[in-house]
Amino acid sequence: MRNIRFKTTATLAGGIATLAAAPALAAGAEISVTIPQLKVAEYHRPYVAIWIEPKAAGAVRNVAVWYDVDMKNNEGTKWLRDIRGWWRKTGRTLTMPVNGVSGATKAPGTHKIASPLAGLAPGSYELVVEAAREVGGREVVRVPFSWPAKAPATAKAAGTAELGAVSIALKP
Amino acid sequence: MRRLLTLAPVLAALASAAFVVAPAQAHRQWMLPSATVLSGENVWVTVDAAVSNDLFYFEHVPMRLEGIVATAPDGTPAKIENGATGKYRSVFDVQLTQKGTYKIASVNDGVFAGYKLNGEQKRWRGKAEEFASAIPAGATDVNVSQVAGRNEIYVTNGAPTETVRKATGRGLELVSGTHPNDLVSGEEATFGFALDGKPAANIEVTVVPGGIRYRDQLNEMKLKTDAEGNLKVTWPEAGMYWLEAEFSDDKTSVPQAKQRRVSYVTTLEVLAP
């Protein structure tokens, strides 16, 4: 069993803190990811990886990885390879947890992440969100965007099964 | 009428051992790991090892556990644990305590000989180093043959590494190119083969996808390495694939052996994009 059924207060507080840390940005992006409510007999919050990759070859920027970060002996890392696109692209070279990237799994709903995109070179990118759910499926949603944005712009896409709407709102 | 001992029963007996001596039409030998791409802190793989017709169901004889060696990413031996041999398969576990790529291999560098002594047909099998004293004086009709067989799989904990892929210099080996644990359907992989440490040019290689039981066509891919020993494969779909190369040459290490049978087998896991 991957998830701890009864979350501690500390984890909840951490979760709320992340949600609250999304005020209006001077410049950068606000990323929004919706995890759908699913009617299944055995529901587990999905493992989700969010990253930005350049269209051309180049380094990938990890934004967030939501997994069972609180399990003892780091046991939650056993299933990171199930986020298989992320794992192959960048995850397998990382030592988790990574400060500022790792976080607990999220409940169904819309979650926002502010990202200043500091130091992101001009070019074409894709925001990639991948979700893998225990005893469930796996889905990838890609949202192309250009950086820097000359005017505020929002790019969006949506999954059909394990992910809902995904968007990136850019501020120049 | 005196019954001569033909080679066929010898082959049949040896096929159930770790030796890969059977001709190309006979059963397939394979190891099937529970995963090839792994993450986590307490990482284990379980491997099925069998000789069978099907890919990848076990329905004939188990592969023998003796001679299966696991090598850790730093080149040191890793333990084969919880080994068991049943009717149709052997199974064992390997704990991947290091990050990187492990190799699990069964290598057969064997010699077998048939000869006549005092009117009786005899046979001998063993290592090349032991052969000098194998054939007794007075033996006639001595027929010696060598085997350089390799059956290996790779599994990776974390990011793939290359140390265990270095050529040992004996037989046919997969030593360069696309990492075997970095395969995705729809992508082309390039595999570099070496024979006795040198590029294995113009070797015929067969690749068969698993799941034979559930389709009509075998869908095998008949490929060939180029002059540099490289082979290109584009995977039609995700799943486990069996890859085999088999041929005879005369590059024996025992001078009495006229022929060497070289073989290479691996199981490759291809993931979906």
**Residue A1 pLDDT class (50, 70, 90 cuts):** very low
Grade residue A138 by pLDDT with cuts at 50, 70 and 90.
very high
* The pair of three-digit structure tokens given for residue A22, joined into one six-digit string: 């999304």
Kindly tell me the sign of the dihedral angle through the C-alpha atoms of B171, B172, B178, B181: negative
Give the ipTM. 0.85
* Preceding peptide of B131 cis, ω within 30°: no
Nearest CA in chain B to A73: B41
User: Distance between CA A64 and CA A159 in Å, rounded?
Assistant: 18
pLDDT tens sequence across B13-28? 444 444 444 333 468 9
Pairwise CA distance, residues A117 & A123, whole Å? 12
Q: Give the Cα separation of B216 and B234 in Å (integer).
A: 21
Does B163 score more than 50 pLDDT? yes
For residue B1, tell me if it sits in a domain.
no
Predicted local confidence at residue A23, as pLDDT: 54
**Tokens read off for A60:** 């990938």
Residues of chain A positioned with their CB less than 8 A from the CB of B39? 77-81, 87, 91-92
Whether the pLDDT of residue A20 is over 50: the answer is no
For A5, A160, B37, B186, the CA distances from B273, given in Å and listed in that order, are: 32, 17, 14, 8
Please give, rounded to a whole number of angstroms, the shortest distance from the CA of B101 to a CA of chain A.
12
Q: How far apart are CA B152 and CA A166, in angstroms?
A: 43
Does the beta-carbon distance from B38 to A81 stay under 8 Å? Answer: yes
Hey, what are B257's tokens? 């052996």
Buried b (16+ CB within 10 A) or exposed e, B121-130: eeebbeebee
Q: How many domains does chain B have?
A: 1
Q: Which residues contact A115 (CB under 8 A, 6 or more apart)?
A: A28, A29, A30, A31, A63
Cα B256 to chain centroid, rounded: 25
Chain Cα centroid distance, residue B77? 18
- CA–CA gap between residue B16 and residue B20 (Å, rounded): 9
Q: How far is B88 from chain A (nearest CA, A)?
A: 30
Cβ pair B43:A78 closer than 8 A: yes
Is residue B47 within 8 Å of B154, Cβ to Cβ? no
Does B38 touch chain A if contact means CB atoms closer than 8 Å? yes
Name B240's Cβ contacts closer than 8 Å, sequence gap at least 6: B32, B55, B56, B209, B210, B267, B268, B269, B270
- The beta strands (E) that lie in chain A are given as 28-35, 47-54, 61-66, 102-103, 109-115, 123-132, 138-147, 153-158, 165-171
DSSP B48-92: EEEEESSSS---SEEPPSTTEEEE-TTSSEE--EEEEE-SS-EEE
Question: Cis omega (within 30 of 0) on the bond before B273?
Answer: no
The chain B residue lying nearest A86, using CA atoms, is B273
| Stronger pLDDT, A156 or B5, i.e. the higher one | A156
Return the ∠ at Cα B270 (arms to B228 and A103), rounded to 5°. Answer: 125
Q: Would B203 be classed as within a structural domain?
A: yes
Give yes or no for residue A9 having a pLDDT over 50: no
Domain residue spans of chain A: 9-171
CA of A97: which chain B residue's CA is closest?
Answer: B40
Tell me the pLDDT band of B255, cut-offs 50, 70 and 90: confident
Q: Please list, in sequence order, all residues whose beta carbon lies within 8 angstroms of the beta carbon of residue A10, skipping any fewer than 6 positions away.
A: none
Q: Percentage of chain B with pLDDT > 70?
A: 90
At A114-136, the pLDDT tens digits run 998 999 999 999 999 999 999 99
pLDDT value for A4: 45
Model confidence at A13: pLDDT above 50: no
Please indicate if any CB of chain A lies within 8 Å of the CB of B255: no
For residue A63, which of A22, A27, A107, A102 has the smallest C-alpha distance?
Answer: A102
pLDDT of A54: 97
Q: Which residues contact A90 (CB under 8 A, 6 or more apart)?
A: A51, A60, A62
At residue A16, the pLDDT reads: 44
Q: Which amino acid is at A25?
A: L
Greater confidence (B4 vs B71) lies with: B71
Cα separations (Å) of B120 from B2, B9, B51, B134, B182?
10, 16, 31, 16, 53
**For the segment B171-184, what is each residue's pLDDT rounded down to a tens digit?**
999 999 999 999 99
Q: Summarize the confidence of residues B34-52 as an average pLDDT.
A: 97
Q: Check CB contact of B250 with chain A, cutoff 8 Å.
A: no
β-strand partners of B167: none
Percent of the residues in chain A that have a pLDDT greater than 70, as a whole number: 85
For A61-76, the pLDDT digits (tens) are 999 999 999 999 999 9
Domain range for B114: 7-270
Is A40 in a helix, a strand, or coil?
Answer: coil
pLDDT in tens, B195-214: 999 999 999 999 999 999 99
The per-residue pLDDT for B130 is: 87
Helix, strand or coil, per DSSP, at residue A66: strand
* Closest by Cβ to B39, choosing from A73, A85, A87: A87
pTM metric for this prediction: 0.86
Closest to A132 in 3D by CA, of A46, A36, A68: A46
